[in-house]
Structure 1
Amino acid sequence: MTPGDASVLFICERPVPDPVLGRVADELGETIVHARSASAGIAHARHHDFALMLVGYAGDPETLAATIRQVRATRRSVHTPVVAVGVPGQAPFPVEPLYEAGAVAVLTEPLSPVILRAKLRFYIDAFRAAAERRSAEAALTDASARLEAIIAAAELGVWTWDIARDRVTGDARMRALFHIPEAMRDCAPVARYFDAVHPDDAAAVQTLLSDAVARGAPYDATFRVRRAGGGWRWVIGRGSVVGAADGTPRMRGVVIDASRQFEAEQQLRLSEERYRTLFDSIDEGVCVIEMLYDNSGQPCDYRILETNPAFVKQTGLADAIGRTMRQVAPGHERHWFEIYGRVAATGEPVRFVNEARELGRWYDVYAARIGPPEQHRLAVVFNDITARRKGEDALRSMAADLGEANRIKTEFLATLAHELRNPLAPLRSGLQFIRRAPDDPAAVARIHDIMERQLGQLVHLVDDLLDVARITRGQIALKRERIDLAGVLTAAAETSMPLIEAARHHLDLRLPQETLMMEGDATRLTQVVSNLLNNAARYTPRGGSIVLAAERDGNDAVIAVSDNGIGIDPERLEDVFEMFTQIGEGRRHAAGGLGIGLSLVRSLVELHGGTVQANSAGTNAGSVFTVRLPLAPAEVPVPAAGPGHSATAPRPARRVLVVDDNRDAAETLSAVLGQLGHQALVANDGHQALRMMAGFQPEVVFLDLGMPGMSGYEVAQAIRREPCHAGVRLVALTGWGAEGDRERSTRAGFDQHLTKPATTAAIEEALA
């Protein structure tokens, strides 16, 4: 098939076109020329007019845009619509350069048959309608020119009607038009001429003639006469009444063959109807506008001359025809007038995306000048892309959020590594010192105190991380009981005192003047106040002052922790409660911390139905953290301990089996148990533990859960299946301490669940 038989040119380096394209072309009965290179496509475009050019994506966006620009630069195809097809539809793809290169549309992969069919049908029909319209206009112009030439050269039928004798004399052209025989060349009755007139027109023509004679007015009629070979031709008859020399009235006139003119006008009407059908059926908004200019010649507004039905749907503007844009949307931005003004001035079409804030929408717009330049008229085709734009903005916002989250995560991991190394360094140094100087009891005792403090810091860091994870998953459960707020404040102060004393701070503890009872988790509330005290200690320069105070405010208890430390920027007060956040200069001044303490405080306070707020006058102005918690509705007396209550009696020695694949952990626990007066043996896997059960017959088994080969759960279940071990107490000692882990250990048969590292008090309690 040659290019001259096709209406669509497809330029793509891929050897096999998309099957959807071929199928849609077959459905429309169209032929597509496939050019496998940009140069081949340009060669076709130079020698043939196409209704549409499709440029296929072959893997390189820049090559695709370059091909579109080359097509646009070809003189014959400068106004031919160009559509980019087959671009990726999943990953973000730069479509703006394609529109800047001259594409009127971009179709993503996979191609939609419905969209492709609509695009092909519209552009092909528009191309053919335009061609028909040009042909009809050319025919009309030709007919008009010929008519003028005929009139100028007197190439028309000339006639004279002797009204009194009712005889008509016509020249050869006149007789030929009305089929008058040569024998009647000098005169023929009027009725003989009317024999050739179309029956539907004869009465009207007779009436016009009679009226012209009666009034002495000009005669002008358009009617049909029979062709010699059959059919009808349109003619125009004109004449006027004149007086003859003998005084008898006559009418002289001409008859003009207007068949071609009428046929061209009919074709033009049909073309206009087809154009109007296409204009009204497409779903893109279309309007024809006339640019308006101010006194200085600058574009300042435009009048809407014509719209299609989709115009109202795309803009929300009803009854816009005949009105200016300033009238229908007074706040319409000036940049729209400037863009359209350039198109009207230069004649260069433009494709762009822009926002119409007055209409609350984003648009994808194509504008081109129509008609002669002096009319300043444009055709504008546009689509409302507000939803797509919002989606793109949401994706950009999501990407920014992910980037910020990644930055916070990276910063947190670096901080976590630093905070973990801080206590590990003195632990390692202490071990090395004890190994080198074991005979110095005073020094060893001092090193032990240091190592215990650092180990406590490690445990505190891990506990905070676990609490954050539990709260995030909604797995933390409060153990509510009736508690005295003064006890919570005292316990929190004792917990934080080592950090406060290490920084040489002065703590002013102001307990409430009355008993304030609450329904809450004493451990968690102590953690809240302790975290606030630790935070104040870290962010207050050495030798500072910290105040912990509490009082009643109606039905609430108000706890305030204030300091004279480095303060907080008032604009960042709310940010301090965000996870992993350390504000501004606080990063340099902080004595450790992961930036999760205050986030944990807010979560725990809100779980108790309270609120927490930060206040500061600014940098170096100190800060105040205020916690407000609901008080218990009524006092409930707590029974005092009976007179027979006494201290815990000495506990008997136990036979204990320690099961842990971590040999160091197992040996150190065994050594501690030995110091406490118990007999302890070690097994390093589950199978060894089961073998030792019968011979050793332990009373208590400390059992790690995450062992290779045979887990602690499986060992516990095996022990519980043996009746001879019915009295053995099983204690899980593990790093897994979530609520789900505790429930699973209970189902496996454990009596108690301890998390590593367990304190000596917890171990003794398990052995009681």
Structure 2
Amino acid sequence: MSDKKDQVIKRLALSAEELLHELHVHQIELEMQNDELRRAYEELETSRDRYVDLYEFAPICYLTLSKEALITEINLTGCKIFGLERKQLIQRRFANFVIDAEKEHWYRLFYHVMKTNQEDKHSFDLKMQCFDKSLIQVHIDCQRRTEPDTSTILHIALTDITESKIIAEKLRLANLRKDQFLAILAHELRNPLTPIRNMVQLLNKQKGNDPLVERACKVVDRQVTHMARLLDDLLDLARIMHGKINLKLEPLALTDIIAHAVETSNPLMVSKAQVLTISHAQTPQWIKGDSVRLSQVISNLLDNASKYTQMGGKISLSVLSEETTVTIKIQDNGTGISPDIIHDIFELFVQGDRSLAHSQGGLGIGLTLVSQLVEKHGGTVTAKSRGVGLGSLFSVRLPVISMNYSTIETQKIQISSKYRILLVDDYADAAESLMMVLEAEGHKVDIANCGIKAIALAKTNTPDVVLLDIGLPDLSGYEVAKTLRTLPETQDAILIAVTGYGQPSDIEQSKIAGFDHYLLKPIDFNTLLAILENLDK
């Protein structure tokens, strides 16, 4: 009996020992699990603290609005922006901070967003007023959310863009002042060029057979033309960069464009005794574009080739015809282009070695202008060079159009009559020199140095043509033109603006004022003669 009892006791003892062991193992496992839970909790707390810090001290304001547009949550950045503590902002109506002029706009946006799909994100700008009455401009990104209790809220990320708006406005004003400066600079530089060109024109008519006078006239005229083209490039680039240039698109024969460009660039190449070889395509090529701008593209590339090619160097212009495009290649054996700048050659103010080009000057904008104009015509321009001293190759590719060139009529210029011309300019040298040139052509010319005198002379002399400067000391040229259009003596006269201002807004304003033509100083006398020759048509 005692043996059985002992066995039972032993079994119970073993079971107890096993149970204690299992309990100990479970205790260890629980402690390990507790350690893991404690570590997870600590990590969660750290992560929460990190999230809170990111939320509270983010560089932008985060806030939440209820469906009644009340602030229910806001971070410290938002408190700082609005100038109140969090407890003062909670349950405050967001619209209280929106300026009166935009409150209706805000509510319209708010209710629109609250009705949209919760995945939709919305952005808009608002003008707001802080607690201290200071005004700010903000950009808002927001999204509607539905909470677990089915309530609807609006999460907002609000960025104070006041400073960036101020900077943007300063940049806009600085850019505007820059454009105004360029316009005034061009006007002031064009004024002295005008009498120089006029006197060259007069000397050309009276030079006789004196080769020295003829050579001097060509040099002066070439330099005046170069200066005028630099001014044109500077203003054209500014207009293109602002998208303010309009192209007059029409069917054009490529041979005509090339001829005009070569005529423009030829004096520079002749002065350096350079040889230009031209190779046209076998069949006439037609493109749709602006004749003035495309001629400008090719002449700028020819000028560039000439400037960077030595005396007596070689330049070639070839035209390659393809199925839908035509490529104009201009190649030279000049200084070439360094690999360091070949990829940036069309960027503003990028120039290669100026040792050869120094005597011709340049602003570093010609190739940028070429690139922009070609792009506006739907084409491309590329530059290649094997290296310094190995010449360069510029290729312009443009789309072609089908055209029956026999349908293009050739206009004949008839010799004009002699006219009574009123010349209005307060720059005495420009007025007197142009008068001398016009009188040499047989026209009768009267001069006025201000708007009031111009109107008085117009009433007494009844001019056929009025050459009118825009910047006069008393009345503007636009005001004078409008007045002349109301006078019976000049309501049908031809009004020609002659000015140094060449911005698109100036040209548009001249049309509104009643001008028939707009000429930039220094006047191309052949252009003026063409206008006078066509008055009888």
Name the TM-score class by shorter chain.
Answer: 0.5 to 0.7
1:546 aligns with 2:311: no
Q: TM-score, normalised by structure 1?
A: 0.43
Unaligned 5+ runs, structure 1: 1-275, 281-286, 288-303, 317-390, 403-408
Take 1:760 and 1:569, find their aligned partners in 2: how far apart are those partners? Answer: 41
Find the aligned partners of 1:759 and 1:598 in 2 and give their Cα distance.
Answer: 24
* Aligned-pair CA distance for 1:488: 2.0
Structure 1 residues 245-324: aligned runs within 5 Å: 307=46, 309-311=48-50
The corresponding residue for 1:751 is: 516
Pair 1:725-2:464 in alignment: no
Larger Rg: 1
Cα displacement (A) at 1:737:
2.2
In structure 1, the partner of 2:394 is: 625
1:609 to partner: Cα distance: 0.4
CA distance in 1, matches of 2:487, 2:467: 18
What is the match of residue 288 of structure 2?
A: 519
Indicate the residue corresponding to 1:579 in structure 2.
348
What's the % identity of the aligned pairs? 41
Q: What corresponds to 2:441 in structure 1?
A: 676
Q: Structure 1's 745 and 305: CA in aligned 2 closer, same or farther, altered over 3 A? A: closer
C-alpha separation between the residues in 2 aligned to 1:462 and 1:663? 22
Is the partner of 2:345 in helix, strand or coil? Answer: helix
User: C-alpha displacement at 1:550, in angstroms?
Assistant: 1.4
For the 8 Å contact 1:570–1:615, the answer to whether it is kept is no
1:711 aligns with 2:479: no
User: For the structure 1 residues 734 and 602, does the alpha-carbon distance in structure 2 shift closer, same or farther, using more than 3 Å as the test?
Assistant: same
Closer, same or farther: CA 667–751 of 1 in aligned 2, 3 Å: same
Q: Secondary structure at the match of 1:720?
A: helix
Are the counterparts in 2 of residues 555 and 630 from structure 1 also a CA contact under 8 Å?
yes
Q: Deviations over 1:520-565 (max 9, x none)?
A: 1122111111111111111122222212111123311111111122
Distance 1:541 1:650 in 2: 43
TM-score, normalised by the number of residues in structure 2? 0.61
| Change beyond 3 A, Cα 1:556–1:567 | same
CA distance in 2, matches of 1:573, 1:454: 29
Matches within 5 A, 1:86-235: none
* Aligned positions, number: 362
User: Alpha carbons of 1:537 and 1:710: their partners in 2 closer, same or farther (altered >3 Å)?
Assistant: same
SS of the residue corresponding to residue 707 of structure 1 reads coil
CA RMSD of aligned residues (A): 3.7
Please tell me whether residue 639 in structure 1 is matched to residue 378 in structure 2: no
Q: Aligned to 2:252, what secondary structure does the other structure show?
A: strand
Could you tell me which runs of 5 or more consecutive residues in structure 2 were left unpaired when the two chains were aligned. 1-37, 56-160, 172-177
1:303-324 alpha-carbon deviations (Å, 9 max, x no partner): x8983522467799xxxxxxxx
Q: 1:586 to 1:314 in 2, by over 3 A?
A: farther
Query: Is the partner of 1:717 in helix, strand or coil?
Result: helix
Alpha-carbon distance, 1:441 to partner: 4.2
Structure 1 residues 305 and 489 mapped into 2: Cα distance closer, same or farther (>3 Å)?
closer
Q: Per-residue displacement from partner, 1:62-115 (whole Å, max 9, x unpaired)?
A: xxxxxxxxxxxxxxxxxxxxxxxxxxxxxxxxxxxxxxxxxxxxxxxxxxxxxx
Aligned partner letter, 1:659: V
> 1:661 aligns to what?
426
Distance in 2 separating the partners of 1:603 and 1:308: 53
Give me the whole-angstrom Cα distance separating, in 2, the residues matched to 1:558 and 1:512. 10
Letter matched to residue 445 of structure 2: A
Q: Deviations over 1:111-165 (max 9, x none)?
A: xxxxxxxxxxxxxxxxxxxxxxxxxxxxxxxxxxxxxxxxxxxxxxxxxxxxxxx
Q: Is the 8 A contact 1:489 1:511 kept in 2?
A: no
Is the contact between residue 611 and residue 629 of structure 1 (CA under 8 Å) also seen in structure 2? yes
The answer to whether residue 243 in structure 2 is matched with residue 504 in structure 1 is no
SS of the equivalent of 1:570 reads coil
Given that 1:486 and 1:512 are in contact with CA atoms closer than 8 Å, whether structure 2 keeps it comes out as no
Please tell me whether the aligned partners of residues 656 and 678 of structure 1 are also in contact (alpha carbons under 8 angstroms). yes
Larger RCO, structure (CA 8 Å, separation 6 or more):
2
Aligned 8 A contact 1:562 1:624 in 2: yes
Q: Aligned equivalents of 1:730 and 1:680: distance in 2? A: 14
Alpha-carbon deviation of 1:714? Answer: 1.4
Quote how far apart the aligned CAs of 1:449 are: 1.9
Q: Is the 1:557–1:631 Cα contact (8 Å) retained in structure 2?
A: yes
Could you give the per-residue CA deviations for residues 609-663 of structure 1, whole angstroms, max 9, x where no partner exists?
011111112211221111111111x333442648xx7x53332211111111111
* Deviation for aligned residue 1:720: 1.8
Deviation, 1:505, is 1.9
Paired with 2:45 and 2:481, the residues of 1 have a C-alpha distance of: 85
What does the per-residue CA deviation read over 1:283-336, in whole Å, with 9 as the maximum and x for residues that have no partner?
xxxx8xxxxxxxxxxxxxxxx8983522467799xxxxxxxxxxxxxxxxxxxx
Partners of 2:523 and 2:223 in 1: how far apart? 15
Describe the shift of the 1:305–1:446 C-alpha distance in structure 2 as closer, same or farther (beyond 3 A). Answer: closer
Q: Which amino acid aligns with 2:484?
A: I
Partner of 2:224: 455
Cα distance in structure 1, aligned partners of 2:211 and 2:273: 24
Q: Is the 8 A contact 1:580 1:596 kept in 2?
A: yes
Say which SS state the counterpart of residue 495 (structure 1) adopts. helix
C-alpha distance in 2 between matches for 1:592 and 1:567: 17
Partners in 2 of 1:514 and 1:703 — Cα distance?
45
The code of the aligned residue for 1:479 comes to: K
Give 2:251's aligned residue: 482
2:398 is paired with a residue whose SS is strand
Question: What is residue 444 of structure 1 aligned with on the other side?
Answer: 213
Q: Secondary structure at the match of 1:625?
A: strand
Equivalent AA in structure 2 for residue 594 of structure 1: L
Distance 1:727 1:448 in 2: 37
State the match for 1:764 in structure 2: 529
Q: Distance in 1 between matches of 2:387 and 2:469?
A: 50
Deviation at 1:696, TM superposition (A): 1.6
CA contact (8 A) 1:701 1:728 kept: yes
Contact 2:262 2:299 survives alignment (8 Å): yes
- Asked if 1:494 is matched to 2:263, the reply is yes
Distance in 2, matches of 1:491 and 1:719, equals 36
Q: What secondary structure is seen at the aligned counterpart in 1 of 2:276?
A: strand
Whichever residue aligns with residue 305 of structure 2, its letter is A
- Check conservation: 2:334, 2:390, Cα contact below 8 A: yes
1:725 CA drift (Å) = 2.9
Distance in 2, matches of 1:305 and 1:681, equals: 93
Secondary structure at the counterpart of residue 281 of structure 2: coil
